[in-house]
Structure 1
Amino acid sequence: MKAFISYSHRDSFALERLHVHLASLKREGHIEAWYDRDILAGSELDAEIAEQLEACELFLLLVSPDFLASEYCVETEMRRALERHDAREARVVPIIIEPCDWASSGLRALKTLPRDGKPISDWTNENTAYLNVIQELRRILDHEPPTSAPGSNTAAAPNDDDAIRSAPERRYRVRREFDDIDKAEFRENAFKTIKAYFQSAVQELNSVEGLRGRFTNLSETSFGCVIVNRGLGRGTAHLTVHGGRGQHGFGDIYYSFSENAAENTANGWFNVEADEYELHLKASITLTHNERSMSPEAAAEALWTEILQQAGISYDG
């Protein structure tokens, strides 16, 4: 998927860091990033940018006070990106790099990155913020088919344009049955999601004064985590997570609040279950006021919140 990166030149540092974190997606062939530095000498700047605004399927907006103050960024690049987003020809992803009044702009209706729209500059470890951005982009690239660019064979007929533009965006749920292979693949991907969440969360925790965390990759299907709250005498919490249904009769993903816990012990677990439309995880017990049925991402956050509470740390998500 070809991505257009819109940014203020005053935020070149953020552009450089984003390119570093995009490297894996580029290497895998999932994304091709374009920005104005790719314009060759002697080319007409406005014409080249206009061409790319029509050709790209994904728009990454590096939003900051300087971005919002830029007439060109907002009135040319962002305006056209949002028009194509509304027409369902492309997707716009705002990336908030510094605190600014983006919620009063045309971006207010969109989901922003990093998580909860927290500016990258406000994260204790900015690499963790960029990692969250990349993880969300990977979800977009993995789970959504490319949109149809204007003029492509799959574009709507000219007479249908007005109807398509005015039609509300709808989400369809298709009833289906899930076999054992579907459930096994979901379990494997869910474990990887939880594992990646803890790796990222521990990295961020280590940048918080008075707190320490350690992530241990025990095996392909097991990992461990320990959290130390130096401000609390007994503020140490352990967690071991195992993925894969085994002979001990626990769930598809199970965990123990102890260090290097054996595979035949568990304090709780998640089972892979399905309704008529989709697969999900169902917890054996309710964690931190969450529903017992949840997505892998929600399960990871609930488990993370639980271990933090055991170490005497509150977490707002």
Structure 2
Amino acid sequence: MSVNAFISSALASSRVFIALVSPDYIASRYCYEKEFEEALKLAEAGSLNIVPVILEPCDWLSSPFSQFLALPKDGKPISEFTNSNVAYLDVVTGLRRVITAAAERSSARPGGDAAVTAGRRPRIKQEFDSIQKSDFADKAFEVIRFYFKNSCEELSRIEDLKAKFEHMNDGAFTCTVVNRGVKGGQEAHITVRNSKGKNSFGDISYVYQPYAGDNSSNGAIRVSSDDYNLFLSMGYHHIGRESKLDAQQTAEALWLDFVRQAGIE
């Protein structure tokens, strides 16, 4: 198989295309004019997600890349970050969000891409009982726990950043992040509990302290519902944030608030 055929085959079977954008990439006849053009056709057909990662300053806003959400945040080139670790963390977080969303869309479509053109399944109104809401909260807590554990492991691979995840019990975990890139070091702590509404702290509560007990809370995550779905909402200092979240979105929002306290944006 030729290189061209191999790349075409790989693109056709992919769900995410990550373009490492720089002046050299845009100037490359093969990378930009052939590889990216083929990826662009797949993206227009709805079968591929394109994620530009901006490595160096370049005129990417005048290119087709401008129609996609670039990383790091706001398309700021990685080379312009004072601490490149902050940039890479933003890229990792953004890519995880894209990949997770792509996987969820794929798994939600029986029969694969052929299902893209199929009609929507009818929505049926229903009422959710306390057991369903409790089960939903339990599953959401496990998603949040898994997200924090993996994120701590990823963060610890970055120079000047250290993170520790600790399992306290089946319904609680605690994390600590240390940013050694800040003079004197900057730390952040959090304890997250599957509180099940205890002390009016919501279904899941969190405290920005290590090993915090179950008698305090800085924020609450509650299970709510409409006529069709269960979802999560975040309270206290998250007032004003999007109110209908799934477990993955909630985990991301909570993680970002947590690491900001260590000076990580």
- Name the counterpart of 1:133: 95
1:58 maps to 2:15? yes
C-alpha displacement at 1:183, in angstroms? Answer: 3.5
Q: Normalising by the residue count of structure 2, what TM-score does the alignment of the two structures yield?
A: 0.68
What one-letter code is carried by the residue in structure 1 that aligns with 2:214?
E
Select the residue among 71, 78, 97 that pairs with 2:36: 78
SS at match of 1:286: helix
SS at match of 2:30: helix
Q: Structure 1 unaligned runs (5+)?
A: 1-42, 149-153, 157-170
- Name the counterpart of 1:224: 174
Post-superposition CA distance 1:206-253 (Å, at most 9, x none): 9575x7654323234321123567879997553211125165553211
Counterparts of 1:71-110 in structure 2, within 5 Å, are: 71-88=29-46, 90-96=47-53, 98-99=55-56, 100-110=58-68
Post-superposition CA distance 1:7-27 (Å, at most 9, x none): xxxxxxxxxxxxxxxxxxxxx
Q: Normalising by the residue count of structure 1, what TM-score does the alignment of the two structures yield?
A: 0.59
- Name the counterpart of 1:195: 145
Instruction: Specify whether residues 71 and 252 from structure 1 end up closer, same or farther in structure 2 by C-alpha distance, changes over 3 A only.
Output: same
Count of residues in Structure 1 that have an aligned counterpart in Structure 2: 249
- Name the counterpart of 1:179: 128
1:257 maps to 2:219? no
SS at match of 2:31: helix
SS at match of 2:236: coil
CA distance in 1, matches of 2:243, 2:50: 28
Moved over 6 A (4+): 229-235
RMSD across aligned positions (CA): 4.3
Looking at CA atoms only, which structure, 1 or 2, has the larger radius of gyration?
1
Deviates more, 1:139-148 or 1:117-126: 117-126
Q: Are 1:290 and 1:302, in contact at CA under 8 Å, matched by a contact in 2?
A: no
